[in-house]
Amino acid sequence: MKKMTHKHLFLLASLAGFSGTTLAQSEKMPLDDACWNVSFEEPFDKLSLWSEANPEGIWRTQYIWSRETIINDEQQFYIDPQQHGVSPFSIDDGILSITASVTPRALRGVVEGQPYVSGVLTTEKNFSQQYGRFEVRAQLPAGQGLWSAFWLLPSFDQWPEGVAVLPEIDVMENLGHQPNTYHTTLHTNETGELTSFPFDHTMKSDLTKDFHLYSVVWTPESVNWYLDGQWKASSPTPGDYTRPVHFLLNLAVGGTWPGSPDATTEFPASFNIDYVRAWTHNDSCSS
């Protein structure tokens, strides 16, 4: 979700001593489920929300920082159904919808003046994993100013002292006015300053019309992204990618990257999610 300075991929390659020609051919092959063991699966038959009263709940409805901290000049406030009495989350036949809408009158006094409300879900409290395969099957929302994302952050009990930003893997980001394009990015502090390495993927199909499977495979050596099981991009793993990571799913509105909604944007707008999975590699497979 960070949108900072984008530098060219060859800079990361030189820092890591990596050459694109050394990318293992096996990494470019389609994903083979037989080589993986499911370590986490959320089919969204129901939504288990974490709270202090329910510490076994899977999903937290805010980032590790405070709910009131708005990033990227976004225009939404992420609400919690238990705290605010209004839910941005719904489940229908095993499909979770994270829905952004115009701020209801009843919430205008508690959402920091934000014109929209939406939702974020993270497994920060109850699931994280170091290395493996992480994926979501989702249908993206269409519309100017909508910004859906599935991403990974390292897990901490609290924000680490002296750290301004965390390393991050963006498995999928989409701007709703570009329904044929999605973005994958690495963010690293390896050199002492935040550096971002983006890959843009333009498809023939409209990603807002159907469900697609967005995956990343993270190993000590490399990060590889896949769409519907097919390899799309690769990067060496930065040196500061050393901690287990947790899932984040959110639907942002507005901000410095997508821009504001306009008269063509239809609300409510939903980011629809079929399932989320994590896998560990099966050591019996060579790839």
Among all residues, which ones are annotated catalytic? 168, 173
Burial class (CB in 10 A: 0-12, 13-18, 19+), 105: exposed
Q: Which residues contact 187 (CB under 8 A, 6 or more apart)?
A: 2, 4, 165, 167, 168, 169, 170, 194, 195, 196, 197
Q: Which residues contact 157 (CB under 8 A, 6 or more apart)?
A: none
Of 255, 141, 120, the residue nearest 208 (C-alpha): 141
Burial class (CB in 10 A: 0-12, 13-18, 19+), 157: exposed
How do beta strands 95-102 and 269-281 pair? antiparallel
**Token reading at 221:** 């050596």
Distance in Å from the first CA to the final CA of the chain = 30
Q: Which residues contact 277 (CB under 8 A, 6 or more apart)?
A: 38, 40, 41, 42, 133, 134, 135, 136
CA distance 235 to 225: 9
CA angle, 271 then 274 then 278, to 5°: 110
Cis peptide, bond prior to residue 268, ω within 30 of zero: yes
CA distance 59 to 76: 19
